Amino acid sequence: MRIVVIGAGEVGRHLCQQLSMEDHEVILIDRNADHLRRVERDLNILAIEGNGASYRILGKAGLSKADLFIAVTDIDEVNLIACIIAKEYGVRRRVARVKSEEYLSEGSPLKEQSLGIDLLINPDQVMAQEILRISAVSEAFEVVDFAHGEVVLVGYQLKEDNPVCGASLAELKDLKGLYDFVIVAIVRDGETLIPRGSDVVQQGDRIYLVVRRNDTGAVEELLNLKSIAPQKVFIIGGGQVGYRVARGLEQQKIDVAVVESNARRCEYLAEHLKDAIVLNFDGLDAQDLLAEGIESADLLIAVTEGDTTNILASLLAKHHGAQKCITRISRPDFIPLLGKLGIDIALSRRLVAANMILRFVRRGGILSAASLLGSDAEVVECVVSERWGYTDKPLKAIEFSVDVNVGAVVRKGDVIIPSGDTVIRAGDRLIIFSLKKAVSTVEQLLTS
């Protein structure tokens, strides 16, 4: 697939890295020559210096031959104009990143359909949605829905007192009883492993399991991973992300306190939030936090614009007794390091947005995909074609790479947690866990 990306910032670089790894032909356009040189040095892409909204530059990039156009510069108007030009060039799918709330508000005349854009994505909006999804499961550090919410992939960290530590996957399989699940991956010391039956789970492992949504509670109890919805939440930072999260938690009838140092912003928050308590002080002030009861918080969410503030606020809250923290950072490469500091979940706004955009890139019957933060893995949901060469054959006969694991099969609304003997039928939806280096192989296999 030929893909043109404008914008060599964090989102653009992550997209180029993933797409080039999957053997797509990627052309990157940016005004900053230094940014382009760094990306071109590290990745197999074509870099073009210039204005991404220039008809001449886009023509030079061979836009008329592109299958997908992605505009992710820091300037909304450049992204929108570039997508309009891409439409004139006949590019079939167009994606634009927009930061302004005006383009996504209910009364705005500038909608995706009227602009001819397939996806308008606001990083603050998708970040807030991700935080709300994760915050609903107290023990989980990652939650991803598939098959219209019938199947869920959940990530848990095994603590030292967990009795399943030291058990092999084969032994855990014997414990399942009525509630099926599959441990599709283990992240250990920063490395993602696709486990087999003889592999043993260890203290500190991050495990990813696929389970029917209705069985999640029972499986958590089986694995001694008891989750309860948070009742008391502190949000450090009352910007757009903090405001959206507070509004979402209010709707769930959860007690929310928003800490914001800017007095004028506090006035806005107090006016627009119904039940949340708005506190005007510095999120790093331990005395003020203790006075408001931070020690009894089920969850702290740090989403200011500063990485240092977010990290320190999270560590401070955990030190004083907060049960769990979700920390926003701008540098995705810091994510693996923060777990060692005691931070439960670190999220990059740009990386979350980039992962959502990647869903538009898939081919060969792939319905959706999710890259997992802090892991070199991806989960894809695909539909089995009648023409597929492995239809009516058991899973063990399919020539998947050792870096691939099938977590679930959805057939006519029924969720099957598969074994090697599970026979695949036309129309089945497969939930496949794969290391990123094997994603292109999965796509090729699905089209064979």
Superfamily of domain 2-121: NAD(P)-binding Rossmann-like Domain (3.40.50.720)
The mean pLDDT of 55-66, rounded to a whole number, is 92
> How far is residue 231's CA from residue 249's CA, in Å, rounded to a whole number?
10
pLDDT at 333: 74
Show the 3-state SS of the chain: CEEEEECCCHHHHHHHHHHHHCCCEEEEEECCHHHHHHHHHHCCCEEEECCCCCHHHHHHCCHHHCCEEEECCCCHHHHHHHHHHHHHCCCCEEEEECCCHHHCCCCCCCCHHHHCCCEEECHHHHHHHHHHHHHCCCCEEEEEEEHHHCEEEEEEECCCCCCCCCCEHHHHHHHCCCCCEEEEEEEECCEEECCCCCCECCCCCEEEEEEEHHHHHHHHHHCCCCCCCCCEEEEECCCHHHHHHHHHHHHCCCEEEEECCCHHHHHHHHHHCCCCEEECCCCCCHHHHHHCCHHHCCEEEECCCCHHHHHHHHHHHHHCCCCCEEEEECCHHHHHHHHHHCCCEEEEHHHHHHHHHHCCCCCCCEEEEEECCCCCEEEEEEECCCCCCCCCEEHHHCCCCCCEEEEEEEECCEEECCCCCCEECCCCEEEEEEEHHHHHHHHHHHCC
If we measure between CA atoms, which residue out of 144, 141, 138, 169 comes closest to residue 156?
141
Written as one letter, the residue type at 441 is T
From residue 195, how far is each of 90, 203, 433, 443 by CA, in Å?
A: 45, 16, 11, 21
Fold of 354-446: Alpha-Beta Plaits (3.30.70)
> How far is residue 2's CA from residue 23's CA, in Å, rounded to a whole number?
10
Cβ atoms of 152 and 431 within 8 Å: the answer is no
> How far is residue 172's CA from residue 164's CA, in Å, rounded to a whole number?
8
Cβ atoms of 435 and 194 within 8 Å: the answer is yes
If we measure between CA atoms, which residue out of 235, 240, 168 comes closest to residue 207?
168
The mean pLDDT of 409-427, rounded to a whole number, is 89
> How far is residue 214's CA from residue 230's CA, in Å, rounded to a whole number?
19
Of residues 398 and 448, more confidently modeled: 398
132-222 under CATH 3.30.70.1450, yes or no: yes
> How far is residue 62's CA from residue 44's CA, in Å, rounded to a whole number?
17
pLDDT tens digits, 281-332: 999 999 999 999 999 999 999 999 999 999 999 999 999 999 999 999 988 7
Written as one letter, the residue type at 292 is E
Domains 2-121 and 132-222 share a fold: no
pLDDT value at 247 more than 90:
yes
pLDDT tens digits, 350-398: 888 887 887 666 544 556 666 665 567 778 888 888 888 888 999 988 8
pLDDT at 370: 65
% of the chain residues with pLDDT over 70: 91
Of residues 102 and 73, more confidently modeled: 73
Q: Is 208 left (phi over 0), alpha (psi -120 to 50) or beta?
A: beta
Which are the contacts of 321, defined by CB distance < 8 A and separation ≥ 6? 294, 295, 296, 297
Q: Which one of 3.30.565.10, 3.40.50.720, 3.60.110.10, 2.40.40.20 gives the CATH number of domain 231-323? A: 3.40.50.720
pLDDT tens digits, 126-155: 999 989 988 877 677 888 888 777 888 888
> How far is residue 186's CA from residue 46's CA, in Å, rounded to a whole number?
35
- Domain ranges for the chain: 2-121, 132-222, 231-323, 354-446
